[in-house]
Every structure is written in C-alpha cells, then in structure tokens.
Amino acid sequence: MEINGSQLWKERFQQFLSKFLRYMRLIGNSGLIFSFVMIVIFGSYYYSLLIKQIPETFPVYLCIAVVMTYVIAKVNIRTFLKKADVVFLLACEERLRQYFSLSLIYNLAIQVAATFVVAIIFAPLYAVRADESSYSYIGVIVLFMFSKVWNVFVHWHSLKLHGRRAIVFDQFLRIFATFLFVYFALIGAKFFYLLSVAIIKLVFLGYVSNVLRNHQLNWLRLLEMEEKLLMRFLKFVHAFVDVPQLSHRVKPRRWADVFFAFLRHDQQKVPYLLYLKAFFRSGEYFGIYVRLLAIGFLVAVFMPDPFGKMIVAFLLVYMTTVQLFPLYAHFFDKEWLLLYPIKQNAFAHAFERTSAVILSIEAAAFAVGMAIRGVSLLYVAVWFCIVSIFIFVYLKRALRKTSADHVW
C-alpha cells in the first residue's frame, strides 16, 4: 500500500475531464455552438475591415505587446487538489513530487497553447506594420511561448512564498520582464538585446528555484487558487446551463429592495414576496432574464428586417418564459410552506401574476426597441397583443400541467 503520485494525478485529472466534457456537451446542446460560430465568422470579417482602416499613427506594436504581456504573464496553476488533501496527504508531500510535476506539465501545455492561439489572432495585425527589419512572426511566436514557459516556472516556484509583499514582487517582476521581452521581439530589436533579456530571465529562474528549494509547498495557496479557477469555470458554464454547485448561491442585490416596498404587510402577499425575492436574489433567474432582455433589445433595434425583428423578439420572450417557469417550484422542497395558513392555490396565482408582469416588461422593452427603428406603431401594437396572449396562455397551461403533478 503506497501513495502513487502519478496515478493519483491521473485519477484527479480524469475526474475533472469527465466533468468538463459533460458540461461542454450541455453547452453544445444549448445551441450556443451556432452562435459561437457566427461570432467567429462576423468577428473575423470585421477584424479584416478594421485592419485595413488602421491609421498610420496607431501604436500597433504597443497594443499587441500589452495584450500579449497580459496573456503571457497571467499564470494560473491548476493542481486538482481537494480540501481534504491538507489533512490526508500532507505527510506525503515528497512522495507526491510526481503529482505536482504532472500538474505543472498540464498547466504548461494548456497555457502555451493558449498563448499560441492568441498570438495567431494577432498575425494579420503584425503583418500590417512588419517590414524587412522585422522578425518572421513564427519566430516571434516562439519567443512568446518561451516567455510563457518562463513565467509558469517562476510563478510555480514563487508559489512557495508567503505573504503579500512577496506575491506582489513576483507579479511585478514577471510583468515587467515579459513586457520588455515581448516588445523587443515585436519591434525587431537586435538579436543581442533579446538574447540578453532571455539570459537574465533564465539566470533569475535559476536563482529563484535555488533559493526556494528548501521551502515547502504552500498548500493553502494552491488550494485557494484551485478553488478560484474551478469556480470561474463553473461560473462560465453557469452562463449557459444550470450548475448545481452554484444554483444555491444567493446574491443580495440590495437595489432591488425598492420593489419589495410596494408589497403590503399582508398574509395574501406572502407568495408574492417569496417569488419576487427568489427572482431577484437566487442567482438563477434574474441574470438570465437581464441577458435575454439585453440581447432582445439590441435585436429589436438593430436587426435590419422588420419581420425578422418581430420573430426573433418573440422567440426571445418565449425563451425567457421557459427559463423563468422553474421559479414556480422554487420553494416546493420547503415543507413548512404547507404549514402556512394560506390557500393552497395562492402560490400558483401569485406566480402567474408575478411572471406575467416580469415578462410583459420584457415584451414592452422589445416593443419600444422595434418602434425606435423600422417597425410601424400598428405592427408593434399587434405584436405586443399577440405576445401578451401567448404569455397568458402559456402560463395557464403550464401551471395546470405542473399543479396536477404536485400536491399543490
């Protein structure tokens, strides 16, 4: 019986990978791949237009250097550590050397690849200014990737440091050195300069790794970073599909409290109060609502074809309705609601009215957007009537269906 570092890492990575793929499949199914492809196509079209119009005075190299420095000097290390490791595996830090080596290799691979992709995006921009004195862009990319590897290693070693001052020092130094190197590479500085900076960087890396050789891993910091990165990934996924770990997080949204002031202190208002609070604060509904509202409004204003506007806006109202409906059952796992001396159908009734208002506000916003540009008031009015009837019918039907499955 022995702890095997590389096997443990593979297990942890496998766990993450299967989770990652599962979420990616869900995102793919949600129809967002299509929008993503559209964004890429339109984006590259506008990008090529933009490049043609860049004025002579625009500091192209400086811009690329700033963005690339950000991409290169921003180092995140995922270790796939879990909180319990601090208790169970602390005594095997040395035996886990392979575990951490594999983590380092994984992060190197991912981040060097990311650097490569971003660098490729800048290729046409670089070509705008490049002349005989410039390096070939392939060479520049190689230098970028070298710089990335250096950053990852330096950061990995400095992770053993404790205290804020050391952390800030590490970041400041890396950003400065990276910017200098990237900028030199872009403007085609003499090879001698590049080589000097590269040598200084390597010497510094050697120094850091030597100084910190006898320090132990900073488990707490590694864990903190791991949790932050995992959260960020889950938040990204949460923008598309429901993530169980996040769905119960509550956002206070204090500004929304003004809406609750309208509710009387009255027994009849209990369901309204609960639905409104859940809508604003539960972190599931309001965010989606605002996003769909914003997209729809932009479509209503900027889409060229008036009938296209009406159809897409209608679809967005439909999507919002579907996304909002789970709010109805939001409290149904709380048994004490059954104990309240309130009529059984009060919740269905309150939900119907609350969501009708919320959806009508959205539809009204779309109507205003369409009226601003390109759709006559008559059409807007007809559209709004149809949408209102739709909301009414949909909610009635869905509620009847859901209530039949429930005690409620």
- Reference 380, options 278, 280, 300; nearest CA is 300
Residue 323, φ and ψ in degrees, nearest 5 = -70, -30
150 burial type by CB count under 10 A (0-12 exposed, 13-18 middle, 19+ buried): buried
Q: At what angle do helices 191-211 and 164-187 cross, to 10 degrees?
A: 160
Judged by CB under 8 A, the stretch of 49-57, 79-87, 183-191, 274-282 that binds another protein is 79-87
What distance in Å separates the CA atoms of residue 330 and residue 327, rounded to the nearest whole number? 5
Instruction: Count CA atoms within 13 Å of residue 141 on its CB side.
Output: 16
242: contact with another protein by CB under 8 A: no
> Which one of 215, 291, 396, 397 is in contact with another protein (CB under 8 A)?
215
Using CB under 8 A, pick the residue from 19, 74, 82, 269 that binds another protein: 82
Nearer to another protein, 93 or 257 (CB): 93
Distance CA 387, CA 359 (A): 10
CB 75 within 8 A of CB 155: yes
Q: List the structure tokens of 49.
A: 């237009």
Q: How many residues bind another protein (CB under 8 A)?
A: 27
CA distance 182 to 141: 10
Under 8 Å between Cβ of 154 and 77? no
CB of residue 338 to another protein, shortest distance in Å: 25
Contact 97, 5 (CB under 8 A): yes
Task: Tell me which stretch binds another protein (CB under 8 A): 44-52, 80-88, 143-151, 357-365.
Answer: 80-88
Q: Tell me whether residue 95 or residue 253 sits nearer to another protein (CB atom).
A: 95
CB 95 to another protein: min, Å: 6
The CA dihedral of 157, 163, 165, 168, to the nearest 10 degrees, is 50
Judged by CB under 8 A, the stretch of 101-109, 156-164, 292-300, 334-342 that binds another protein is 156-164
Helix, strand, coil % in the chain, rounded to nearest 5: 75, 0, 25
Residue 165 or 264: which CB sits closer to another protein?
165
For the CB of residue 91, give the shortest distance to another protein in the complex, in Å.
Answer: 4
Residue 2 binds to another protein (criterion: CB under 8 A)? yes
Candidate ranges 78-86, 267-275, 289-297, 321-329; the one touching another protein (CB under 8 A)? 78-86
Phi, psi torsion values for 375, nearest 5 degrees = -120, 130
133 backbone dihedrals φ, ψ, rounded to 5°: -80, -10
Min. distance of Cβ 8 from another protein in angstroms? 10
Report if residue 216 touches another protein, rule: CB under 8 A. Answer: yes
Annotate each residue in 157-196 with x if it binds another protein (CB under 8 A) or - if it does not, as one string. Answer: -----xxxx-------------------------------
Stretch that binds another protein, among 52-60, 119-127, 209-217, 399-407 (CB under 8 A): 209-217
Which of 50, 86, 123, 385 touches another protein (CB under 8 A)?
86
- The closest alpha carbon to 347, from 284, 391, 289, 402, belongs to 402
CA–CA dist 47, 41 (Å, integer): 10
Does residue 220 bind another protein (CB under 8 A)? Answer: yes
Q: Min. distance of Cβ 100 from another protein in angstroms? A: 13
In the bound state with another protein, the residue whose beta carbon lies nearer, of 160 and 201, is 160
Q: DSSP class of residue 31?
A: I
Query: Smallest distance, Å, CB 87 to another protein?
Result: 5
- Residue 83 binds to another protein (criterion: CB under 8 A): yes
Q: Does residue 214 touch another protein according to CB under 8 A?
A: yes
Distances (CA, A) of 370 to 302, 342, 363, 364: 9, 42, 11, 10
CB of 106 to another protein, least distance (A): 20
Mapped onto helix, strand or coil, the DSSP state of residue 24 is helix
Quick note: the x/- pattern for another protein over 336-375, rule CB under 8 A, is ----------------------------------------
94 vs 266, beta carbon nearer another protein: 94
Given 68, 71, 77, 89, the residue binding another protein (CB under 8 A): 89
Binding site for another protein (CB under 8 A): 1-3, 15, 82-84, 86-95, 162-165, 214-216, 218-220
